[in-house]
Structure 1
Amino acid sequence: MQILSNSVYKSVEHRVIVNAKEERISLALFYNPKGDVPIAPAAELVRPDRPSLYPPMTFDEYRVYIRKNGPRGKAQLEGFKGQAVPGTGNK
């Protein structure tokens, strides 16, 4: 969400605290688009006064980045920030 919203909306890190008195059921759901799907800030959220903070990439490129650098939570996104080419919008 953070990349798509150009950091307008922040992703939230969270954790679960176990309650020994009650059962808890957790479901993990993952959505993986096709590898060639472009990921970039939404055009509506990129303006001259708020340029793109993230470079465009495909989902495959994003996955390779994660594999090379290891999972690091929100810090992962900070590694992308500022790599967008100024004056190019989403491109």
Structure 2
Amino acid sequence: MKLGGQLPNRTKLDKSFFSPWVDRFSLVFLTIAGIISIPKIESILDYWFGSWSLGVTICGLIVTIPLLATSIGKLYVRTRS
């Protein structure tokens, strides 16, 4: 993989490019944290969703983890520029 290219959906700030490694590390970290927290989240949602709580938990994590990882990457780029 090439380092230093512009990331998708990012505006070019000045003449510098930022590495996508922050996005990758945050995605891996949040995925591991999500996997560890699945039982706790499922037990909380069990009251409202019953037998669907595991599916709702997994679908929710599939949606929120990439969004959070992208937000962390964008925040890092903004603070670094």
**Considering the TM-score relative to the shorter chain, is it more than 0.5?**
no
Give the TM-score normalised by the residue count of structure 1.
0.29
Higher helix share: 2
Higher strand share: 1
